Structure formats: C-alpha cells, structure tokens
C-alpha cells in the first residue's frame, strides 16, 4: 500500500464523520421545527376546546405564534453557532493535517538527502585512501589523491557542522561571542582558501572593499558566507560566474553573493529560509543539499543584527544581499 493511501485514510474517515454530523444536524433542526409546530398546533386546539371566546382565541393564538417565532429564532441562532464552530473546527483540523503532512514530507526528504550527503564524501574518501594503499603511485599523484580525500572530509565536516548548528538553533542553545575583526581580510582569506581547496568549475570573483571592520562571532559567521556561496555553486552551471562582494554604503555593511544560475521564483522566495525547504522531491532532484543552509544563514544574520534579502540577477541568476549595521 502506498504512503499516500495511508496518509489519506484518516482524512477519509474524518470527512465521513463530518458528513454524518452535518446530516444529523439538519435532521435535528428539522425535528425541532416540526416538534415546535406540533406543540403550537396542539396548544391552539386546547384553547379552542376550553370554550374561550373568539377574541381570547385570537389573542392566545398571537401569543403562541410569537412564542413559535422565538423558538425558530433560538433554533436558527443555536444552529448557526454550531455550524460556524463546526466549520472552524474542520478548517483547523484540515490545516493541522496539511501541516503535519508537509512536516512528514520534509523530514522524509531531509533523511534521504542527508543520507546521500553523508555517504558520498565517506565513500569518496575511502576510495582515495584505498587507492593509496593498494597502488604504487608517484609523489605528485599521491598529493593529488590526499588533497581530494581532505576535501571530502572537509565537505563532510561542513555538513555535520550545519546539522549541529541547526540542532542548537532549534533547541535554543546557540550562543555567540562577538569581537571586532577586519571583515575584508577575513572574508578574502576564507574565500581564497575555499576556492583553492575545492577548485570550483565556476569563475569566482571577489569584489571586497578593504579595511571594513565589524563585530562578528568568529565561530559562526563563516557559515553565512559558505552557505550562501555553496548555494550559488549548487545552482550555477560550470561556465558561469559567481561574485562575492563586500561594500560599505551609508553606514551599512553590505555582503552579497550573486550567481548566474537557475534563479528563484517570486513564490519560492517566501519559503527558501524555512528549515528543510527544498524545491521538488529528493528522488528526482539533481542538486545536493539538506535544506538547512539558508535556514542557518537567516538565523545567523539576525544574530548579527542584519537583514537578508534576495532578488533576481540580470540577465539571470540570484543575488543574496545581507545588510549589517556598521
């Protein structure tokens, strides 16, 4: 039995129950109105049998009709409240069900993606080390293989760091210690080291203004730059350009990462900073990732009293821009 059938079964029985309740409500309303009409008719017959005068019969009939109308109003009022509460309950239950279904799908996608992301660098590093163990290679080839193995372990370490950082954020145990650094030198050195280590196929351009100082948490701030940069690499073709910029404008420090990749639709821009959010299904998606990168970026930017925005690059691609107070 497919997972979609399993998920839809509780919803099916819920709608059956709702349908039954609604039908019972209309039957109850019909019975109440019918019973009130019968009671009023019987009371009129009793008044006639008492031998009352015509004026008294008419007066009592008017009173009975007024009472009957009040009962109808009472039934209509109680019924309206019941229907409103029922519809509100249906809406909230349906909303909760959709939320739980979306969360279950996100968790499923996360498990699939993180399993792949963990296995890939481990398998690659193991293969590199086995090659060194089983074959006699020249010194240059050995250096190349060792460098590849180190890159795989760095990739694995970055993934684990993201998972641990996301867990700290989720459990409200994240702490930071900010000190003033030369942000220009800090980003330039870090990006040059990253580019040299991983040898990206894209052309990376650094547009960093010198001597921009800012108070940052040295342990967490690199996650902002690396996650934005890795996101640009992930969705860019090998012949494109990625530009990392740092400027100071009007007492604001502007960090930007621009790519020439697939771009992001206006609708998706509303959700990209949510935890686990990724477009499509893990079974069919070609790009790697866990859906944690931009969630972490958004949190860390706020921790540094910044604001992150995303806009379209021209003619194609995306620009992530982070604005800090200097």
Residue 190 sits in the same domain as residue 306: yes
Q: How many CB atoms lie within 10 A of CB 223?
A: 19
Residue 89 sits in the same domain as residue 24: yes
CB-neighbour burial class of residue 28 (10 A; exposed 0-12, middle 13-18, buried 19+): middle
Of 103 and 8, more confident: 103
Of 22 and 41, more confident: 22
Structure tokens that stand for 62 in this block: 């008017």
Residue 166 sits in the same domain as residue 184: no
Structure tokens that stand for 33 in this block: 């109105």
What pLDDT is attached to residue 303?
Answer: 94
Residue 204 sits in the same domain as residue 313: yes
pLDDT tens, position by position, 122-162: 888 888 888 888 888 888 888 888 888 888 888 888 888 88
Domains in the chain: how many in total? 3
Residue 280 sits in the same domain as residue 257: yes
Domain final residue pick, 84, 107, 130: 107
Residue 155 sits in the same domain as residue 225: no
Residue 183 sits in the same domain as residue 297: yes
* 302 neighbors 236 (Cβ within 8 angstroms): no
Query: Which residues are registered as beta bridge partners of 243?
Result: 205, 258
Measuring CA to CA, which residue among 97, 142, 305, 155 is closest to residue 221?
A: 305
Spatial separation of the C-alpha atoms in residues 291 and 276, rounded to whole Å:
4
CATH number of the structural domain spanning residue 146: 1.10.287
What pLDDT is attached to residue 92?
Answer: 86
The predicted model scores a pTM of 0.65
CB-neighbour burial class of residue 262 (10 A; exposed 0-12, middle 13-18, buried 19+): middle
Instruction: Tell me what percent of the residues of the chain surpass a pLDDT of 90.
Output: 27
Residue 199 sits in the same domain as residue 291: yes
- The angle at the Cα of 161, spanning 155 to 162, to the nearest 5 degrees, equals 95
Confidence of residue 268 (pLDDT cuts 50, 70, 90): confident
How far is residue 95 from each of residues 104, 168, 271, 272, 273, measured CA to CA in Å?
A: 14, 28, 18, 21, 21
Contacts of 305 (CB under 8 A, 6+ apart): 324, 325
Residue 247 sits in the same domain as residue 287: yes
Q: Per the omega criterion (within 30 degrees of 0), is the bond before 315 cis?
A: yes
Spatial separation of the C-alpha atoms in residues 36 and 76, rounded to whole Å:
13
Residue 217 sits in the same domain as residue 318: yes
For all residues of the chain together, what is the average pLDDT?
82
Residue 99 sits in the same domain as residue 144: no
3-class secondary-structure state, position 115: helix
Residue 259 sits in the same domain as residue 182: yes
In b/e form, how buried is each residue of 150-188, taking b as 16+ CB within 10 angstroms? ebbeebbebbebbbebbeebeeeebeeeeeebebbebbb
Tell me whether strands 241-249 and 306-312 are parallel, antiparallel or unpaired: unpaired
Domain final residue pick, 55, 80, 107: 107
pLDDT tens, position by position, 62-104: 666 677 677 777 777 777 888 888 888 888 888 888 877 777 7
CATH number of the structural domain spanning residue 319: 3.30.565.10
Domain final residue pick, 123, 153, 170: 170
* 289 neighbors 117 (Cβ within 8 angstroms): yes
Domain span including residue 41: 3-107
């Amino acid at each position: 039995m497919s997972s979609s059938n399993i998920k839809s079964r509780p919803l099916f029985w819920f709608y059956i129950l709702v349908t039954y309740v609604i039908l019972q409500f209309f039957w109850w309303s019909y019975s109440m109105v019918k019973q009130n009409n019968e009671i009023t008719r019987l009371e009129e017959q009793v008044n006639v049998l008492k031998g009352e005068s015509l004026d008294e019969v008419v007066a009592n009939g008017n009173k009975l009709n007024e009472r009957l109308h009040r009962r109808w109003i009472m039934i209509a009022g109680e019924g309206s409240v019941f229907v409103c509460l029922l519809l509100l309950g249906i809406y909230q239950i349906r909303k909760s069900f959709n939320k739980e279904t979306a969360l279950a799908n996100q968790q499923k996608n996360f498990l699939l993606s993180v399993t792949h992301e963990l296995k890939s660098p481990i398998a690659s590093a193991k293969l590199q080390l086995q090659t060194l163990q089983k074959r006699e290679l020249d010194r240059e080839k050995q250096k190349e293989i060792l460098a590849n193995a180190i890159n795989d372990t760095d990739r694995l370490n970055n993934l684990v760091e993201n998972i641990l950082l996301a867990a700290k954020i989720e459990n409200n145990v994240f702490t930071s210690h900010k000190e003033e650094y030369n942000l220009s030198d800090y980003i330039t050195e870090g990006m040059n080291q990253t580019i040299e280590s991983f040898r990206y196929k894209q052309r990376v351009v650094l547009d960093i203004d010198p001597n921009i100082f800012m108070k940052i948490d040295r342990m967490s701030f690199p996650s902002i730059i690396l996650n934005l940069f890795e996101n640009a690499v992930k969705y860019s073709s090998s012949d494109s350009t990625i530009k990392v910029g740092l400027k100071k404008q009007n007492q604001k420090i502007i960090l930007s990462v621009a790519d020439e990749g697939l771009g992001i639709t206006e609708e998706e821009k509303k959700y990209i900073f949510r935890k686990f959010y990724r477009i499509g299904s893990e079974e069919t998606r070609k790009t790697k990732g866990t859906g944690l990168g931009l969630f972490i970026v958004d949190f860390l930017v706020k921790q540094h009293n910044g604001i992150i925005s995303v806009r379209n690059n021209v003619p194609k691609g995306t620009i992530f821009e982070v604005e800090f107070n200097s």
